[in-house]
Amino acid sequence: MPSQPAMPETASGNILETSMDYSAIPKSKDLKMESFKKEMNEKLEKSKGHRHNLNILADTLYAEIHSRILHDPDQGQREIPSETENQIRNYLKNANDKNIDDCILWLILISAVEKFVPASSENTTPTQKDSSDMDNPNFRIIRIILDIVPHLSFESLQPVNEIRGWGEESVMKRCKANHSYGRNKKTTPFHAAVEDERTQIVAHMLNRGDSLLSTTGGGWDLQDFIKILQRPKPDRLSSLSALGLAAINNNGMETVEMLLRYNPKIAISPTDKTFETSLKEGKDGIVDAFFEYEELRKEFITAKNILLALEYLSKNTPKQGDPPESYMKVVCTLISHAPTKEELNDEVVKEIIQLNLRRVWESRNKNIELEISEFLHIAVQCQNAEFVKMFMDEYPESVLQQIDNRYALWHNNFSAPEQRRSMEDLQSEANRNIREMLVTEIIKGNPDLGMQQLLEIFRDSEVEELCFDLSRFNSKKYLVSDFVRSLISHQDNPDLLSYEHTLKYAEFPNLDAKDDEKEIFGDDVHYEHAEVFLILDWLRNDKKAREIIELTVPDRLVNPHNEVKIGNYVKFFQVQVLNWRFLDLSITVLPDQETKERIKELHLYASGKRAAISHWTSENGILTLPNVSAELIIQF
């Protein structure tokens, strides 16, 4: 025999007494009992014309019993019934000759359940309110009936043939043959108590049913009782179990918690749709109550249920607005309790991204090791720029990871193999933002990638120029300044050259190569060179370039570009690798700490002046560049 579960608790946390100890009452005097029986029989004789009608007989008995308990001078104690209650119990238990059988007791029980008004009810009148629910006349009637027939709570006047158990053939089968049915109650007292949110009564019924596990013959165990508790309300139209009835009530939370506390397995049944209904209606409190129990978490936290919750959230979200908070809480609860990556599969992740539910994603259990390389690809496929940025920040390496031989960028151009995205999609703001983020990260975040590797990554993407390279310009034969002016003033085909916002590098030719243009030390120089600045302005203003990862300028040794302006351009283009041939370049030309922290590689050219070397090695020099690896070149 399995150990019996703990008795349910009331809302106050106290164990609810569920049985009365009749052995503690002194034996009633025979004269008193005989007098009581005589009075009761006289009451029944007055309804002689209706003796065989269930409802008339039950109503007569109920009214008399309720009146006697209500006016009982000795209310007794919670554990010990009063003498009046003992007399009522003995009369009902031994009055078979008066046609008082289980059917009559059932109708008295259902009347007491339906007419019970808890002391806490807002709708009660002063005359209805008792000192406590335990002293309520209807509650005391319920205790009397269930002491006589403990399992009567779970039986119906309707046949219930689904499973073996109490009420298998309905109480009506045990009625006396000469009863007429009268009106038929299509419920059980247990279901009625749950529907009316009578938690005190539900607790008492559970405990009386639980007591039968040790007294009923035939090998009854806890599993048998759980199956009985899982039965739907026997009204032919309803498929709701007691748990389901409690869940749909606005104030049924206490009853739901009580049923689950008795035994969580009550919720596990192929025919019980309580959990699914809670997902559909966004009942986050019910979902929370379920997940207090590990076995229910194992049963209900599945990828299927997560997708179902996401579907209901989507259906209940207005076109212009945020998802309802209750539905959001349901999904977050499911995600946060998901124990393995099996529940957070690609389909679930894709749905979260499509619905743009960042809060849901962030609620997941961070200890679960997921296939993170796929997330960026899914976010790009869903065209969700916010998730793309988040995944790039969290997993920057996924930009270069391939799934099915495809980089994430591929999904920005193709919705499926050999199916290019529509022009409308490609011109959308989301597509443009995603493309820019990916291209920038590929170029900027992976400085070791060569141009050949970049071209391979961008093979199926329509990318613009990735670099600006004039290094092969024959500066020995032609003036760089003339070429620059020609380039930036040529407006016939302004779109002939297009550049990405982030350039892998910009490299200029040797500005000191043409012998007849070379200036020497000591000359009186009045002309300020600005060819490189003109190109950089052209890239910024006309070609919308915003970043240059590596900037290489073999400047003139004499009369180079303005040193302060060099620092400003390095700041604007967020340069990381600076190789500007400028003798004795001062570190202080880098205008702010952010620019200095961005520099990863710096080439310094020295004329041999000790002051320059001292500056570079001082606390205001290279030490202000925390991420730099400096290369020092001595130029004489």
- Mean pLDDT for 352-362 is 93
- Mean of the per-residue pLDDT values for the chain? 82
* pTM of the full structure: 0.73
Q: What one-letter code names the amino acid at 538? A: W
| CA distance from start to end of the chain | 99
The phi and psi torsions of 401 (rounded to 5 degrees) equal: -90, 140
- Alpha carbon distance 565, 559 (integer Å): 14
pLDDT at 248 > cutoff 60: yes
- Mean pLDDT for 562-590 is 95
pLDDT at 7 > cutoff 50: no
pLDDT at 183 > cutoff 60: no
**How many angstroms separate the Cα of 458 from the Cα of each of 388, 408, 451?**
18, 11, 10
Beta bridge partners of 602: 578, 630
Angle (CA) 22 24 26, round 5°: 95
Q: Which tops the pLDDT comparison, 587 or 36?
A: 587
- Mean pLDDT for 123-134 is 50
Handedness of CA 426, 431, 437, 438 (dihedral sign): negative
Q: What is the pLDDT of residue 505?
A: 93
Q: What is the pLDDT of residue 239?
A: 80
Give the confidence band of 302 by pLDDT, cuts at 50, 70, 90: very high
Residue % of the chain over a pLDDT of 70: 78
Q: Which of 340-344, 521-525, 541-545, 579-583 has the lowest mean pLDDT?
A: 521-525
Give the confidence band of 164 by pLDDT, cuts at 50, 70, 90: very low
Handedness of CA 103, 106, 112, 115 (dihedral sign): negative
- Mean pLDDT for 80-90 is 83
Q: Which tops the pLDDT comparison, 288 or 518?
A: 288
Q: What is the pLDDT of residue 10?
A: 38
Q: Burial-class residue 342 by CB neighbours within 10 Å (0-12, 13-18, 19+).
A: exposed
